[in-house]
Structure 1
Amino acid sequence: MPDVAEVRRRTWVPGRPVDVLATLGPLRRGAHDPTWRVDPDGTLWRGVRTPEGPATLRLSSRPALGEVAASAWGPGATWLLDSLPALLGAGDDVSGFVPRHPRVVAAGRMFSGWRVPRTGLVVEALVPTVLEQKVTGQEAYSAWRRLVRRHGEPAPGAEGRLWVAPAAVTWGRIPSWAWLQAGVDGARSATVVRSVRAAGRLEECVDLDRVSARRRLRAVPGVGVWT
């Protein structure tokens, strides 16, 4: 297992504009998401639980050089760096995007650095999405923050300034009273628990076609079309 204090680095040259914050912005769960931090210079930090363990990712865009600089710490550092192009939208094929309306053309130019990210982490996306069902964003983000800080762990190499969400097995062991204390009702907490108990099968969705992945996800009671 790599030393959590050891930093690993990678520089990615995408050959196109990359807006790191816009691309990864949908992964942020509120202004005070403990797994997310942005420095004044725009450097982005994320705490991530990878298949190889917890890790910290730091991303810095260098537009003048046409590159993105990445650093990572923790057992999952190599996995994160290997996944960097997909994370920043390398798999988002825009070849079929042929805008005709002037406003769409203008938006395409204005947001040319945006792409749809691919994390390859189903449970990481599914748990907070379930928390966001049938409540306000403020309530969901508050619950996420409380649960991550109480049941997650400090992100490797981040000196206590960043957190990694709980592992699937940990989500499944959170007692009912702790969910309620975080503001999560029984229906949503039960859906999360059922989901993480099937974590292995759900993570396989990244290799399935869209229809099959959707069918497998919705086989979990409580995970529906809005999820």
Structure 2
Amino acid sequence: MHTAETVVDFGGSPYDLPATLGVLQRGFADPAVQIDAQHRGRSAASGTPGAGAWLCQHIYDDAGAHLGAVTYRFDQIDASAVEVQVTATTAEAAAAALQRAPAVLGAGDDWWEFELLLDALGDRISTELAGIRRRNPGLRLPATGALFDQLVTVTLEQKVTHDQARHSWRNLLRRFGEAPPLSEEMRSKLSQGQLRLPLRPEQLRGIPSWQWHKLWVQPPLSKTVLRLAERGSAIHRLAAVPAETTQVAELAETLTSIPGIGPWTVAEALQRSHGSADLPAVGDYHLAHFVGEALTGRRTDDAGMLRLLEPFRPHRQRVVRLLGLSGFRMSRFGPRLAPEDHRDR
């Protein structure tokens, strides 16, 4: 075991650990990402001292070589500083994880230009968005660097309910994932759940087809996951692409060339792996309705959502994240989808 620690200081600016990292957690029982239960969903204009989170990853270098497995423990020690502890299987992985930690927390994510844009536009929508931002000044866009993991996770969410997707991800890691490295100090802080590492490409390729069925993963989705696994080395290399908007857009085009990977999957993955600020998820079953109703009082489709977001380019995903924290709840029509469970047939 190799351990390291540092403090990420946000220079006096409020920081909101649960709001920032919460987007990474796939359900409360996610084995790879855990926000401490007492702070889930909480946000404060003065930051969130006392909040904590866990993150398990495999670390790769820029050439796609596996350096080792790591466990992060994040503890917000005051309104604008987070203590980071890392335990890794190798010294190289520990050093790389420590270097990546500020990006994971969103320390390089600058909202200043977006705030200036809102002031300059000055219309009703921009004024309301500026108010939401003032109530949530600690929100950042995290960049985990784990592009492969994010693509696999989002693929499992394609055209299924949240319950199905969460079940598949949770049980995939519980049945086939490895236990992450944990120092004794980390073990003393781990009071809930069971942490597991996301699967590496070779581990995914070794899962038999009947196990995917038991995991409640439909055949088209398991085939797409295996295509990603076959391209694992290349995807790990692509993870090193810088987070600038233009380069992320080019990366998105490259990824959509993989069969089964469309714009929605790529957007959802890059929002988390690269902290993409201008890649809204087109093709989401609810998002366009939500954005349209939140901004105008009327539902819209993908084209309408993009028209509404266009004035805020290159910050369109920032708008979506703010709306998610605004407290707005979309009106519901009709019964909820209740998919049949065929796993025991």
Tell me if 1:150 matches 2:146: no
Name the larger-Rg structure.
2
Preserved CA contact (<8 Å) 1:57 1:77 = no
The match for 1:58 is 73
| Range with bigger deviation, 156-165 or 186-195 | 156-165
Shift of 1:31: 1.4
* Identity in percent: 32
Give runs of aligned pairs for residues 125-204 of structure 1, distance below 5 A.
125-157=150-182, 159=187, 161-204=194-237
Deviation track 1:63-95 (CA, whole Å, cap 9, x = no partner) reads: 25x311000111333222111111121332323
Give runs of aligned pairs for residues 1-227 of structure 1, distance below 5 A.
3=1, 6-15=2-11, 16-39=13-36, 40=38, 41-51=50-60, 52-64=67-79, 66-75=80-89, 76-97=93-114, 98=116, 99=118, 100=122, 101-157=126-182, 159=187, 161-206=194-239, 207=241, 209-227=247-265
Q: Matches of 1:11 and 1:153 in 2, distance apart?
A: 28
Q: Matches of 2:135 and 2:158 in 1, distance apart?
A: 32
TM-score between the two structures when normalised by the length of structure 1: 0.91
1:20 partner letter: L
**Root mean square deviation of aligned Cα:** 1.8
Q: Which runs of 5+ in 1 are unaligned?
A: none
Preserved CA contact (<8 Å) 1:55 1:73 = yes
Shift of 1:29: 0.8
Shift of 1:8: 1.3
RCO (CA 8 Å, sep 6+): is it higher in 1 or 2?
Answer: 1
1:92 partner letter: D
Shift of 1:201: 1.6
Q: Which runs of 4+ in 1 moved over 6 A?
A: none
Preserved CA contact (<8 Å) 1:12 1:67 = yes
1:182 partner letter: L
SS in 1 for 2:112: coil
SS in 2 for 1:69: strand
Q: Matches of 2:238 and 2:138 in 1, distance apart?
A: 27
Q: Matches of 2:249 and 2:196 in 1, distance apart?
A: 33
Q: Matches of 2:132 and 2:57 in 1, distance apart?
A: 31
Tell me how many residue pairs correspond in the alignment.
222
Q: Matches of 1:11 and 1:168 in 2, distance apart?
A: 32
Q: Matches of 2:57 and 2:161 in 1, distance apart?
A: 25
Shift of 1:102: 3.0
Shift of 1:120: 1.1
| Range with bigger deviation, 44-53 or 180-189 | 44-53
Preserved CA contact (<8 Å) 1:58 1:70 = yes
Preserved CA contact (<8 Å) 2:25 2:35 = no
Hey, which of these two has a bigger chunk of strand by percent?
Answer: 1
